[in-house]
Amino acid sequence: METKERTSLWAKAWYKFRRDRIGMVSLGVVLLYLVIALGVWLGLWGQDWSSIEGPMWAPPGPEHWLGTNIIGQDIFERAIYSTRTAFDVGMVVAILSTLLGGLLGALSGYFANSWVDELILWLMGVLDAIPFYLFVAALAYALQGNPYAMHIAMIATFWTTTSRLVRGEVIKLKNFEFVEAARAIGLPQRLIIFRHITPNTFHILLVQATIVFVSAIKSEVILSFLGLGITHGVSWGLMIAESTQEVQAGHFSNFVTASTFLFVLVMAFNMFSDSLQDALDPKKVSA
């Protein structure tokens, strides 16, 4: 009965989402960016991002659709490859931080007011008290230029919001009848938490994953602009950083291209996340 009801709620959520035009359009834009990233992963395009083949600051044309930068690299190729960088960072951080937040939040909520709960809440408070960019800078210095320092810093800080939301939901769910029934038949606590309670928080985890995805991309751009992010490859943040000299010389293509690619993806994902949150709202779905 529990499984059928959960399936019905997901079906209602999908039906509601399909009727949301803004949500479907934003999903289409996100999927377009994903196709671009997949093409780069498969080596179909964007592989000449580092090649110096054109003249300095060449205008847009058939050979270089969006022109070249200060050293003759194709701006379009670099923007396309940066889409892969954005998805690399966004997906890794979103998946791992959401899983970590869901796990710790479930444990904290189920064992509320115990030493487990107090330890997890203390850890969240400590991480939230540290300024994010200062934490990234310290971690990057400690790891001596490790290319994954930025990922580790984001994962270590972004899980706290997810954990708090899941904790509150688990505190509510653990008093429901189906959990009491599982306890009554003697099921181990780990099965109750991860088989009966955690699946009912998937709607929170899904929405939080989309929010963290956007936050990770924006943070990567800022960190790369400051020299604390991507060290191997190229990203929109690095393109914006290198365009500071070009803008002063009157060449805006590098800056406009990177900013536009970033703006469209972030806006589309924000609208997709809002539509998804509305569709998965238990009060609206069950209505």
pLDDT, one tens digit for every residue, the chain (287 residues): 455 555 566 678 778 888 889 989 999 999 999 999 999 999 888 888 878 877 887 778 778 778 888 888 889 999 999 999 999 999 999 999 999 999 999 999 999 889 999 999 999 999 988 888 788 778 877 876 677 888 888 998 899 999 999 999 999 988 888 888 888 888 888 888 888 888 888 889 988 999 999 999 999 998 888 888 887 889 999 999 988 888 877 788 889 999 999 999 999 999 998 888 888 775 554 44
The span from the CA of 195 to the CA of 198, in Å, is: 6
Q: Quick one: CA dihedral 155, 161, 261, 277, positive or negative?
A: positive
What are the sequence ranges of the domains in the chain?
A: 2-49+72-286
Closest CA to 136 of 205, 54, 76, 223: 223
**What single letter denotes the amino acid at residue 150?**
M
Q: Which residues contact 31 (CB under 8 A, 6 or more apart)?
A: none
CA 156 to chain centre: 13
Q: Residue 69 to residues 138, 224, 249, 251: CA-CA distances in angstroms?
A: 32, 18, 12, 9
Q: How many whole angstroms separate alpha carbon 200 and alpha carbon 164?
A: 15
Three-class secondary structure of residue 187 per DSSP: coil
Do the beta carbons of residue 35 and residue 41 sit within 8 Å? Answer: no
Superfamily name with CATH number, domain 2-49+72-286: MetI-like (1.10.3720.10)
What is the dihedral sign for C-alpha 1, 279, 101, 232?
positive
Q: What is the pLDDT of residue 209?
A: 93
Q: What residues contact residue 19 under an 8 Å CB cut-off, 6+ apart?
A: none
d(CA 140, CA 75): 28
198: nearest Cα among 101, 90, 114, 122: 101
Report helix angle 202-225 to 253-280, nearest 10. Answer: 170
CB 224 within 8 A of CB 242: no
Residue 125 tokens, joined:
């408070």
Integer angstrom CA distances of residue 282 from 1, 50, 113, 198: 17, 48, 27, 15
- Please state, in angstroms and as integers, the Cα–Cα distance from residue 268 to each residue in 25, 262, 276, following that order: 8, 10, 12
Give the pLDDT of residue 287: 47
